[in-house]
A = this chain, B = another copy of it.
Amino acid sequence: MRVAELSELSNVSVASIKFYAREGLLAGNRVGYNQTEYGPEHIVRLRLIKALINVAGLSIASVRRVLEAVDDEQVGVEEVLERAHEAVAPTNLPAVGEETLQRVRELFDELGWNVPEDSVGFRQTAAVISQYEQIGRADLSERASRYGPPVMDIARGDMEAVAQTQDRNTIAQTVVIGTILGDSMLSAMRKAAREHLSDAS
């Protein structure tokens, strides 16, 4: 199909499609001079781009970096995961004092998790604990130990969903969607669970 039809079917304007193509987020098949053909896979691609930008609030540069990893068959799934983590991490993670870092090391040791200190997971956990301390509620950072087992259960569920998929492209897409929209799902369901408990009490 041509760009006009793709626009109609995907509900994305022709101007936006051309912009995404120029930014390298989407590539149609060139057929002759100044003509590009698109297939059904491009409708799905446009919806993914829209979700990453509108729902997850990613920048064009972050979307490009994530989709490059999804598209490149040479890139392993661990690398796709790491790039998805980087894309959704707050960009302004504050510097954290040595005392807080030590607390995070002890937390992960106690849980038996092997988390590299330069990973997004380690740095973001340290940043949140540091914020609790600054509000004068360091006591709340103890909840991190309590959260450990259920959070590991959730992460295992994520990995099971990935393991059920055979082809690499679907796996890569699943990792990206699971990471980025998965946080919204957990936030929504946690509210629902609290509403259930609050109602029952």
A interface with B by C-beta (< 8 Å): 44, 47-48, 51, 55, 78, 81-82, 85, 88-90, 108, 113-116, 119-122, 124-125, 127-129, 131-132, 134-137, 140, 143-144, 146-161, 173-174, 177-179, 181-201
Contacts and interface: CB of A to CB of B under 8 A. Distances in A.
**Total identical chains:** 2
A71 B134 CA distance: 21
Contacts of A120: 191, 195
Contact of A140 (B90, B135, B153, B174): B174
B140 A161 contact: yes
A155 B51 contact: no
Contacts of A194: 81, 85, 121, 155, 158-159, 179
Nearest to A149: B153
A125 B198 contact: no
30 contacts: A44-B135, A47-B135, A51-B135, A78-B198, A85-B194, A88-B187, A89-B191, A90-B184, A113-B196, A114-B200, A121-B192, A121-B193, A124-B187, A125-B185, A125-B192, A128-B185, A143-B178, A143-B182, A146-B157, A146-B160, A147-B157, A147-B189, A151-B189, A155-B190, A155-B193, A159-B194, A159-B197, A159-B198, A186-B186, A186-B190
